[in-house]
Amino acid sequence: MSAAADAQQRVAVRLDSVTKRFSTQVALHPLHLEVREGEFVTLLGPSGCGKTTLLRIVAGLEIPDDGTVSIFGADVTDRPANKRPVNLVFQKVTLFPHLSVAENIAFGPRLRRMGKQQASEKVRAALDLVRMPGFGDRHVTELSGGQAQRVALARALANDPKVLLLDEPLSALDLEIRRQLQAELKDIHRRLGLTFIYVTHDQEEAMSMSDRVVVMCDGQIEQAGSPVEIYRHPRSPFVARFLGMSNVFEATVTSAADGRGRVRPGGQVESDRLDPTHRRQLGLLEPVQRGLVGDERSFRIIRAMWRALGMTP
């Protein structure tokens, strides 16, 4: 069962009125976000929208200027990264080049003074989980890009984090390898039941992997919901366009009542005043139902949604 479906689950991560500024630039406006235990939540948005800054605040690599960060009920706002029950997998692979694969994975457990035998078991289990059994003695310079990212993931998992943070870990990989690792990440999430917070600017990746997608723009959360929900019922023209819906037009509402509305082309849409029915009448159309999609990106996102639902398009 999907983690998002269980209303009784604990809140794994809570951000309350979190803000962040860099000099005169506001990276994050005051925002609120809750991630429940076992959820796979993706922060999705264009470059510079604040999604990586938000992830780094959860990791403890950035401190918010205002607001609080809680992990499983404990306030960790001022707690350093190494004192938080999280691990971060970076976009750029950061393995120790002078250590073997097994030594890289065992680094965290040994740092926690875990016994040699127990650490070896952790390494074996982590390599099995990322489908790399027998690679422990390999030197990291002998690995391909996909293998190196798997080892980085195994190293993070060997530390037994309560929350796994992933900052665009697949963006530098070839398309075929990226899609294979997407499926493997989703399988690992299902098997372990960990809380995943994933950052990407790739709409297809977000739609196919996530329980819930948080769309960000200019340091704010535009919309949060299931992949199907945000695609079929976008709350703003930005969300609609960013997710591949090209059939958005401006209009002025002249009247609205009983689920029906009258519009005049042109003017400014004030979509926040309208219910989903009226927004669709204004042109935030549902392309799957209406057959109006024409660009390849939209078709890719639709296919990703089908896969997320376990169906074949």
12, 76 Cβ separation under 8 angstroms: no
What domain range is 297 assigned to? 234-308
Domain count of the fold of the chain: 2
Residue 183 neighbours by CB under 8 Å, 6+ apart:
none
What's residue 292's pLDDT? 37
Q: What's the chain's average pLDDT?
A: 83
125 falls within a domain: yes
Check whether 78 has a pLDDT greater than 70. Answer: yes
26 falls within a domain: no
Tokens at residue 225, please? 């919901």
Query: In whole angstroms, what is the distance from residue 280 CA to residue 235 CA?
Result: 10
| 99 and 242 assigned to the same domain | no
| 159 and 300 assigned to the same domain | no
Q: Average pLDDT in the 74-89 region?
A: 95
Check whether 268 has a pLDDT greater than 60. Answer: no
Query: In whole angstroms, what is the distance from residue 33 CA to residue 13 CA?
Result: 8
Q: Average pLDDT in the 4-13 region?
A: 69
pLDDT in tens, 158-216: 999 999 999 999 988 888 888 899 999 999 999 999 999 999 999 999 999 999 999 99
Which has more confidence, 313 or 128?
A: 128
Check whether 271 has a pLDDT greater than 50. Answer: no
176 falls within a domain: yes
Which of 166, 200, 224 is a domain's end point?
224
Which of 189, 224, 259 is a domain's end point?
224
2 falls within a domain: no
Q: pTM of the prediction?
A: 0.80
147 falls within a domain: yes
6 falls within a domain: no
Q: Average pLDDT in the 113-140 region?
A: 91
18 falls within a domain: no
What's residue 280's pLDDT? 43
What's residue 28's pLDDT? 97
| 155 and 116 assigned to the same domain | yes
| 249 and 100 assigned to the same domain | no
| 176 and 217 assigned to the same domain | yes
CATH, residue 197: 3.40.50.300
206, 43 Cβ separation under 8 angstroms: no
Check whether 5 has a pLDDT greater than 60. Answer: no
| 109 and 218 assigned to the same domain | yes
| 168 and 263 assigned to the same domain | no
Burial 231-246 (b: 16+ CB within 10 A, else e): bbbbbbbbbbebbbbe
| 187 and 275 assigned to the same domain | no
| 218 and 263 assigned to the same domain | no
| 304 and 219 assigned to the same domain | no
Query: In whole angstroms, what is the distance from residue 95 CA to residue 284 CA?
Result: 45
What's residue 172's pLDDT? 81
Instruction: Place 306 in a pLDDT band, splitting at 50, 70 and 90.
Output: low
What's residue 308's pLDDT? 57
Check whether 300 has a pLDDT greater than 80. Answer: no
Query: In whole angstroms, what is the distance from residue 35 CA to residue 12 CA?
Result: 6
pLDDT in tens, 11-70: 999 999 999 999 889 999 999 999 999 999 999 999 999 999 999 999 999 999 999 999
Residue 207 neighbours by CB under 8 Å, 6+ apart:
213, 227, 231, 243, 301, 304, 305, 308
48 falls within a domain: yes
| 171 and 290 assigned to the same domain | no
Which of 182, 198, 224 is a domain's end point?
224
| 196 and 256 assigned to the same domain | no
